[in-house]
Amino acid sequence: MNQDKKDTCPRCGASFHCGIAGPGPCACTQVKLDTRPLRAMMSLYPSCLCPDCLRAIAAGAPVEAPARG
């Protein structure tokens, strides 16, 4: 049985831990996104993204997941 609640990043599918569900700070409080990508992210995804995706978006990567294949 799993005791930890793990979140799955809706953008890349990676498992990560969101601080909202635990004692640690959430990654989304550590990565500052501009209003525009932040709003796009919130409209596209129902939950937080993993720290890697947040950093990538903050660095200018597209909010939508890159096409596969």
Residues that bind Zn ion (CB under 5 A): 9, 11-12, 14, 49-50, 53
Q: Which is nearer to Zn ion, 33 or 49 (CB)?
A: 49
Tokens encoding 22: 């635990």
Cβ 55 to Zn ion shortest distance, Å: 10
Residue 49 in 3-state DSSP? coil
Q: Tell me how far apart the alpha carbons of residues 45 and 10 are, in angstroms, rounded to a whole number.
A: 6
For the bound state, the minimum distance from the C-beta of residue 64 to Zn ion, rounded and expressed in Å, comes to 12
For 68, residues 6+ apart whose C-beta sits below 8 A from its C-beta are none
**CB of residue 63 vs Zn ion: minimum separation in angstroms?**
11
